[in-house]
Amino acid sequence: MRKFGCWDTEYLDLSSPELRQAVPAWMVDADRCAQMTCGLQPAGDLPALLELLRWLEQHPVADL
C-alpha cells in the first residue's frame, strides 16, 4: 500500500499481483467516511457509469 495525493485529497494505492486500485484515503477511515454525506442530486446516472465501466475495461491501468 502506498499513500499519495495532491491538493486536499490523499489516495491509497492498493496493489496485488492481479490488480492495482487507488482509492481515496477517507474510504478506509471509519471516522472520516462517516462524515461524508450524499448530495441532494446525483452527479451521474447509471448509463454514464456503465459507459465509464466499459471504457475502463478497454483501457487497463497497464496501458496508461
- Could you tell me if residue 5 is inside a domain? yes
pLDDT confidence of residue 37: 76
How far apart CA 59 and CA 55 sit, in angstroms, is 6
Q: Which amino acid is at 19?
A: L
Residues spanned by the domain of 16: 1-39
Give the tens place of pLDDT for each residue, 10-50: 778 777 777 777 778 877 888 887 887 777 776 778 888 88
- Could you tell me if residue 9 is inside a domain? yes
- Could you tell me if residue 59 is inside a domain? no
DSSP letter string, 26-50? GGG-HHHHHH----SS-SS-HHHHH
- Could you tell me if residue 55 is inside a domain? no
- Could you tell me if residue 46 is inside a domain? no
Q: Give the residue carrying C-alpha cell 489516495.
A: 11
How far apart CA 25 and CA 19 sit, in angstroms, is 18
Give the tens place of pLDDT for each residue, 46-55: 888 889 888 8
